[in-house]
Amino acid sequence: MAELSLQHIDKIYDNNVQAVFDFNLHVNDGELIVLVGPSGCGKSTTLRMVAGLEDISKGKLLLDGKDITAAPAKDRDMAMVFQNYALYGHMTVYENMAFSLTLRNENPNVIHKKVLAAAEILGLTSQLNKKPAQLSGGQRQRVAMGRSIVRNPKVFLFDEPLSNLDAKLRGATRREILLLHKRLQATMLYVTHDQTEALTLADRIVCMSMGHVQQVGTPLELYDTPNNIFVASFIGLPPMNFFDVVFEDGVLKGKGFEAALTPEQQDILSNYVHKQIVLGVRPEDIAEGGSLPVLVTANENLGMNTLVHGYIGDRSGNRISAKLRGWAEHKNGDRTTMRFTRMHFFDKDTTNAIRKEAK
Amino acid sequence: MTQAIEDRDIQLDRMQYVKNTGSSRLCYLGILLNVLYFVSIYKSDVGSWYYQILVGGSIVYNLLFMLMVFLASEGVKNYQTNYSTLLIALGAGQLARIFILPLQAHSAVVKVSGAEVAVMQDFQFIRVVIYLAASAACLIAAAVINLQKSRALAAHLAAKSAGQA
Per CB-CB distance under 8 Å, the chain B contacts of A94 are 17-18
Quick one: pLDDT at residue A5? 96
Q: For chain A, give me the number of helices (H) and strands (E)?
A: 9, 19
Quick one: pLDDT at residue B152? 93
Tell me if chain A has a CB within 8 Å of the CB of B18: yes
State mean pLDDT over A40-67.
95
Q: From the list A94, A109, A113, which residue is nearest B17 (CB)? A: A94
Q: Determine whether the interchain pair B17/A109 forms a contact, defined as Cβ–Cβ distance below 8 Å.
A: no
Quick one: pLDDT at residue B150? 94
Quick one: pLDDT at residue A205? 97
Residue B114: pLDDT over 70: yes
Residue A33 is inside which H or E element, if any? Answer: strand A32-36
User: Percent of chain A at pLDDT above 90?
Assistant: 77
Q: From the list A94, A113, A128, which residue is nearest B10 (CB)? A: A113
Confidence class of residue A37 from pLDDT cuts 50, 70 and 90?
A: very high
Per CB-CB distance under 8 Å, the chain B contacts of A92 are 17
Contact A208, A40 (CB under 8 A): no
Residue A246: pLDDT over 90: yes
Residue A358: pLDDT over 70: no
State mean pLDDT over A108-116.
93
State mean pLDDT over B14-32.
94
Quick one: pLDDT at residue B8? 85
pLDDT tens-digit readout, A141-190? 889 989 998 988 999 999 998 888 888 888 888 888 888 898 888 999 99
**Arithmetic mean of pLDDT over chain B:** 90
**Arithmetic mean of pLDDT over chain A:** 92
Q: How far is B70 from chain A (nearest CA, A)?
A: 18
ipTM of the complex: 0.72
Provide CB contacts within 8 A for B53, sequence distance 6+.
Answer: none
Best CA proximity match to A205, nearest among A87, A330, A36 = A36
Quick one: pLDDT at residue A335? 94
Per CB-CB distance under 8 Å, the chain B contacts of A128 are 16-17
Tell me if chain A has a CB within 8 Å of the CB of B9: no
* Strand residues in A178-285 grouped as ranges (E): 187-192, 204-209, 212-217, 241-248, 251-254, 257-260, 276-281
Residue B19 is inside which H or E element, if any? Answer: none
Give percent helix, percent strand, percent coil of chain A, each to the nearest 5: 30, 35, 35
Tell me if chain B has a CB within 8 Å of the CB of A129: yes
pLDDT tens-digit readout, B119-162? 888 898 999 999 999 999 999 999 999 999 999 999 998 988 88
Confidence class of residue B44 from pLDDT cuts 50, 70 and 90?
A: low
Q: From the list A92, A95, A112, which residue is nearest B13 (CB)? A: A112
The model carries a pTM of 0.79
Residue A228: pLDDT over 60: yes
Quick one: pLDDT at residue A130? 94
